[in-house]
Amino acid sequence: MSTHPSEQAGQLIDGKAIARALTEKIGQDVAAFIEQGNPLPGLAVVLVGNDPASEVYVKNKAIQTHRAGMRSFMHMLPESTSQDELLDLIAQLNANPRIHGVLVQLPLPKQIDPVVVTNAIAPHKDVDGLGEVNAGRLALGMDGIVPCTPLGCLMLLKSVHKDLTGKHAVVIGASNLVGKPMAQLLLRENCTVSVGHIHTQDIRGLARTGDILVVATGKHGLVRGDWIKPGATVIDVGITRVPTHEGRTRLVGDVAFDEARHVAGHITPVPGGVGPMTIACLLHNTLQAARVTQALLKNGDAS
């Protein structure tokens, strides 16, 4: 297997450019939505605690929401917030007609059950798509709100492959946030799907069978170049901050990029790959939720 640089390197999938185009399209759709007499779509983001990375991410979401012509509602709660207090806030957001999407930033402090919180969000406002109603609709192949990161990954894949039918897709990682919904989306695209996880025997061998390889484990550098089928399309969802020799830090993914790019046909970088798409898809889901919420209000069904 050659690892000669430059001409043998796989093509980068530019998540920033694709996300920028999607965000511009969403902005146009929001303007059209408002011209039809509808209110500004509103997104409420709730952050519990003061994790620096989460704070930066949440503020970036607010900036992008405003750029797309939507209203942003920020709720910054202390680390000591109880589960009941958070549930009370979610109930208020569910009932607020100015808010069309509700997102609670994960992870949550240990005293709060994320499953209980996620399922407390009204399904038509669940812009993260993680509640049991939207997760169930995805599993059944029905319309619903799809989790932002897997949806972004699918859009990145479709920027390379117009038709995914018949391709063998390997997903490494089986979380409710990424791995499971990603597998469901790929099944819906008529892929043959394998899911690997911490208990999978010969995970390297499984990975090498994938025409498509999606990696979401949170373990940086896990997937090496010899794990990848030559010419495969690799989507790296992982993002970890690691120290450098200069005493600074840098962001890396779950895939050993310098090795993998010489084997893969197409690959997402970290940063600049999946990350921008996650926020763009959050805006996409917020507009979708606004459309559904307005329809429910007209029919008298929204709570």
Q: Which residues pair with 170 in a beta bridge?
A: 194, 213
Q: Is 203 annotated as a binding residue?
A: no
Q: Are 266 and 14 in contact (CB under 8 A)?
A: no
Q: Using an 8 Å Cβ cutoff, are 103 and 19 in contact?
A: no
The catalytic position among 29, 128, 211, 236 is 128
Is residue 173 annotated as involved in ligand binding? Answer: yes
- 128 labelled catalytic: yes
Phi and psi for 162 in degrees, rounded to 5?
Answer: -65, -30
And the tokens for 230?
A: 């030559």
Answer for the pair 211, 170: CB distance below 8 angstroms, yes or no: no
SS3 of the chain: helix, strand, coil, percent, to 5: 45, 15, 40
Provide the terminal-to-terminal Cα distance of the chain, rounded to the nearest Å: 59
Strands (E), the chain: 11-12, 42-48, 71-77, 101-104, 168-172, 192-196, 212-215, 233-236, 240-243, 249-252, 266-267
Residue 235, Cβ neighbours under 10 Å: how many? 30
Q: Is 2 annotated as a binding residue?
A: no
Pick the catalytic residue: 61, 167, 180, 229?
Answer: 61
CB 71 within 8 A of CB 38: no
Strand partners, 194: 170
Whether residue 105 lies in the annotated active site: yes
Three-class SS of residue 32?
A: helix
Cβ proximity of 31 and 74 under 8 Å: no
198 is annotated as contributing to ligand binding:
yes
**Binding residue per annotation — 99?**
no
Catalytic residue among 29, 64, 105, 125: 105
- HSE of 131 in the Cβ direction (CA atoms, 13 Å)? 20
Q: Which residues are catalytic, by number? A: 61, 105, 128
Annotated binding site: 173-175, 198, 239
Annotated binding site for NADP(+): 173-175, 198, 239
